[in-house]
A = this chain, B = another copy of it.
Amino acid sequence: MSFDPILSNLRKHIALSPAEETYFVSLLKPKRFQKKEFILKEGQVCKHINFVNSGLLRAFYLNQENKESTIMFAISDWWVTDMHCFLEEKPAMLNIQSVSESEVLQLSKIDLDHLYIEIPKFERFFRILMQNAYVREQLRVIQNLSLSAEERYHNFLAKYPQIGSQVTQKQIASYLGITPEFLSVIRGQK
């Protein structure tokens, strides 16, 4: 499995020496997941943050009535985990499942904590990663509050065309916070 994508992901924000890159890469656990396989299940302690090398993952929440809410889709070059549970080393609230066959590089909480000490540049890297994640989630809150279901759907397709074509409408509906039946109605009206 190639480490080029993750190294160029790092290079967007920090510069590492070859030795540092080697050390970082040594901490990564490559994993391959089949379609529908779970990277993380609710209740498991979330030990890793995952970098998607190829494929597509989906993180979702199940409420008391077993209704799914899709929290995020993660395509190549994205980082994904149940951040709250990863940071606190608590049982996960979220499920993370492979949508299509995927290659993932996993970094454990312990190794990341070492990394922050050994190579403080990683503090910067993850600061920027977290900043961007925060801005993205806040924008999603704004859109959920201020846009109609139909506007949210068209926004989603415009923003993530690659994802829109790979996932089911049921999954898109659960990302938008509507039922699949209603999404079908929205799509019907041209």
Contact = CB atoms under 8 A, between A and B. Distances in A.
Contact of A83 (B63, B138, B140, B144): B138
Contacts of A120: 120, 123-124
Interface string A123-142: 11011001101110111111
A183 to B, nearest CB: 14
Bin the interface of chain A by size: 20 to 34
Nearest to A138: B137
Interface string A64-82: 0001010100000000000
A146 interface: yes
A116 interface: yes
Interface in A79-106: 83-84, 87, 93
B83 A142 contact: no
Contacts of A140: 137, 141
A6 to B, nearest CB: 19
Contact of A177 (B61, B83, B144, B174): B144
A63 B146 contact: yes
30 contacts: A61-B146, A63-B146, A63-B147, A67-B146, A69-B145, A71-B141, A83-B134, A83-B135, A84-B135, A84-B139, A93-B142, A116-B124, A120-B123, A123-B123, A124-B127, A126-B127, A127-B127, A127-B130, A130-B130, A130-B133, A133-B134, A134-B134, A134-B137, A137-B137, A137-B138, A137-B141, A140-B141, A141-B144, A144-B145, A144-B177
